[in-house]
Amino acid sequence: MRAHYFYVGAGMCHVVECPGNNAPVLLDDCGSSNSDGGLTKDQAVAAVQATTAGRPVILVFSHSDADHGNYVPDIFPNPTPVAIRSIWGGGSYANYNDRVKTWLREARDAHIPIRMNAFPDPGVTGFDPGWSNDGNRVDALQCGTANTYVLTVNSTKGANAASMMLMIDHNGEKLLFPGDATGDAQAQAVENAGNNHKPANFLFTDVLEVSHHGAESNGSNNKAWAESTLPRYLLSSAGNSYYHPRCQAIQNYRDANGARLLGAPKHLLYCGEHGQWWKYEDEPYAIFGTNSNGTLTVDVNAGGAGARTTIYCGPSQCTN
């Protein structure tokens, strides 16, 4: 399994090349409000098209914010069910921008299955507040031979809190994509895991992307979430516009009781605090950000004697 965290500046864009023969590609968000020195819109669109070419796509909008989905109509200008197996969206259709809403209606007219709240079609179903699939994998989101779980979606009102939080488990190696989840959404994911009688380590994650680009507002990336997930690798998708990721948010994962963060070759890491950048030239932990290290690629090799995860910063290996 290979996951790409494209450096699109102030936005998110993830492509997961699912494992297995004839496996689909899972595209989780793709948009930006400012390229901020990263890939331009045209470059990002071309990169995603090249990565997904010839394979069916499962498309997920974590939520309605434009910086998570405004590139999608350019990636798939003529949506067809051959190219896109299904579309899943957190939040309400009414809150998506007009161009994406027009594109979603075109996808519906092309008979692509859609699941999203308040979609203007009685045949399209949405999600109950805080929905998860009872702690079981979601077959319609299955990433090849890897299992996909919806930890929560539409947890509370507000675009960010509605984020669909996905976990992909490839033979025990877990990647977690939280969108812009707030503290309420994170707490709902933890509650759902408990309500579904999952073991205490169910949310322990190998590769965790910090939520909301590394923000700490509205409880995002709080200590309780850090201790519930205990990532081995920590990634952030952010540009330079909002001083993300925030230093305190990153520190919460370093300080988590039982922290599992791995060491890594010393590398550059920027974080923001009090309206300024802090530059760490010798970051010793496996913490990487797109605005510090460029596009990040995660390889999960779950064969042989055991799983091994390797992360690349651009073309260069940036983990041990």
pLDDT band at residue 304, thresholds of 50, 70 and 90?
low
pLDDT reported for residue 71:
98
Q: Is the pLDDT of residue 305 over 70?
A: no
Q: Kindly report whether the global pTM for this prediction surpasses the value 0.85.
A: yes
pLDDT reported for residue 48:
98
* SS3 state at 109: helix
pLDDT reported for residue 157:
85
pLDDT reported for residue 85:
98
Q: Is the pLDDT of residue 306 over 70?
A: no
DSSP assignment letter at 246: B
Closest CA to 268 of 298, 313, 234: 313
Query: Is residue 71 within 8 Å of residue 30, measured between CB atoms?
Result: yes
pLDDT band at residue 22, thresholds of 50, 70 and 90?
very high
At 100, the amino acid letter reads V
pLDDT reported for residue 320:
84
Q: Is the pLDDT of residue 303 over 80?
A: no
**CA distances (Å), origin 12, targets 5, 157, 202, 264:** 8, 21, 25, 24
The token pair at 218 is 């509205």
Residues 195-214 pLDDT 10s = 999 999 999 999 999 999 99
pLDDT reported for residue 147:
97
pLDDT reported for residue 302:
65
The mean pLDDT of 167-194, rounded to a whole number, is 97
Closest CA to 186 of 158, 152, 143, 227: 152
Residues 270-290 pLDDT 10s = 999 999 999 999 999 999 999
Backbone angles phi, psi at 15, to 5 degrees: -125, 125
The mean pLDDT of 118-125, rounded to a whole number, is 96
At 203, the amino acid letter reads L
| Weakest mean pLDDT among 82-86, 135-139, 289-293, 298-302 | 298-302
The token pair at 16 is 């997961």
**Strands 173-177, 147-152: parallel, antiparallel or unpaired by DSSP?**
unpaired
pLDDT reported for residue 301:
87
Query: Is residue 179 within 8 Å of residue 68, measured between CB atoms?
Result: yes
Residues 123-138 pLDDT 10s = 999 999 999 999 999 9
Residues 231-272 pLDDT 10s = 999 999 999 999 999 999 999 999 999 999 999 999 999 999
Closest CA to 237 of 3, 1, 2, 6: 6
Which single residue is written with the structure tokens 């799983």? 307
Query: Is residue 249 within 8 Å of residue 256, measured between CB atoms?
Result: no
**What's the chain's average pLDDT?**
96
Residues 145-160 pLDDT 10s = 999 999 999 998 899 9
Q: Alpha-carbon distance 124 to 51, whole Å? A: 29
At 286, the amino acid letter reads A
Q: Is the pLDDT of residue 307 over 90?
A: no
